[in-house]
Amino acid sequence: MKPNPNSALHYIVRRSARAKNTRIVVKPDKIEVIAPPHVSERKIKNFVEAQQDWIKAAILRVTEKTHAVPSLAPQHYVDGVSIPFQGQQLPLRIKPSSAKTVRLNLEQEAGFIVSMPVGIEPHQSSELIRQLLTRWMKNQTRHHAGVLIDKHAPRHSLYPRSLKIKTQKSRWGSCGPNNDINLNWLLMLAPPIIMEYVIIHELCHIRHKNHSRDFWQLVAEYMPDYLQHRQWLKQHGASLMKGL
């Protein structure tokens, strides 16, 4: 997939053997043109240019919809706010510290405890805490995802070649042609069963590189109630995508 540099609108072309016609998908973070393999680059370019008014209107609709979605995270990271984690809202407590670096701990009853060096201004500490929480969440995602892969992969020998934790604005996970799994760390904000569903979903793509009936039957074999978790993501995913 390569961006088209000749268009006023930045878009990505994705070839799909299943596509019967060229179509445009507008997402919060990108414009994607899905085209059959035989359609020339010139025809795609002309198609996009002819659809520019529609694309701009779609971008506006998506932007307005995104802005209307409430964020799970606080606007500023100060003592007493709540932090989303595994489907819960846990309190944030900030304590002054003689240490030179900011430290973060999660305590079962107290929530997130941040040790903040004395002398750091509030506007600086908020961003430091956000960055620290993001790094911590990514590490937690890798750990929990690894546990889930170890749990489910042996059942049908669906072993990924690698696992990468990413920040994504429109996808929860993906499985590449060489069985490399990418996982969105924002799943750490959702209930644990949601990450488990996404992990199972991507593991099943190791066998079926599509969303065929056989694929969904394999998902259902692992998780008979997967539809309700898929629906949860549709209902709450936009808020998760707001991030921290």
Judge contact between 52 and 8, C-beta under 8 A: yes
- 79-113 pLDDT per residue, tens: 999 999 999 999 999 999 998 899 999 998 899 99
**Domain coordinates in residue numbering, the chain:** 12-68, 82-134, 139-241
Q: Residue 196 and residue 200: Cα distance in Å, rounded?
A: 6
**139-241 falls under which CATH superfamily?**
Metalloproteases ("zincins"), catalytic domain (3.30.2010.10)
Question: Per the structure block, which two tokens stand in for 71?
Answer: 């964020």
Phi, psi (rounded to 5 degrees) for 142: -60, -45
- 181-224 pLDDT per residue, tens: 999 999 999 999 999 999 999 999 999 999 999 999 999 999 99
| DSSP conformation class of 109 | T
